[in-house]
Homo-oligomer: A and B are copies of this chain.
């Protein structure tokens, strides 16, 4: 395709009435230790724990976190059964799956996180991973990143590092990447002279965050 694909037919396609109420509700990944993950997603990223599904017969528990659109859906219900049903209407939840016992494993990170990670491969070699990251959009990327920095988050790209300015990547406790992007903005993204890691706008060339490319 020579790096080109004509997408005009996809843009021009009429909306499918049969799928107009469908919701992209979840992204599931496994986590080693649910407590450290819930701390990160609810305290650092500021999501809410919406519902929990416990399946002792299969040895796992799932925790749904996200930013529920309360102005459309109302507040998260108090009752457990109602919480789950409500969650099934919330777009963009993250389903954190805990396989019971993983928290006791020796390694700090036990699951392959996609990208070119070697975790979880039998030979210890990097895997050509398909999954790249989740991403959140926020009114002020620089302020959000200052919050993450203050809370001890690990950055793989601060807003001013690398070739694409005004976006960042942090790691969750298992090493999954979380992109931080400006809410409702196009290119060029808003920038500030210095970011939370002290990197100036002229800092770094290239696209060094290792998140998009193979």
- Residue ranges of A at the interface with B (Cβ–Cβ < 8 Å): 1-3, 5, 7, 10-11, 13, 15-16, 18-31, 34-35, 38, 42, 45-49, 52, 55-56, 58-63, 66-67, 69, 72, 81-82, 84-86, 88-89, 91-95, 97-103, 110-114, 119-123, 125-139, 144, 147, 163, 174, 176, 179, 181-187, 207, 211-214
Give the copy number: 2
Residues of B within 8 A of A66 (CB): 24
Q: Is the CB of A184 within 8 A of B131?
A: no
Closest 9 CB pairs of A and B: A19-B46, A111-B130, A120-B128, A24-B92, A92-B92, A131-B131, A91-B92, A28-B132, A3-B100
A157 to B88, CA, bound (A): 19
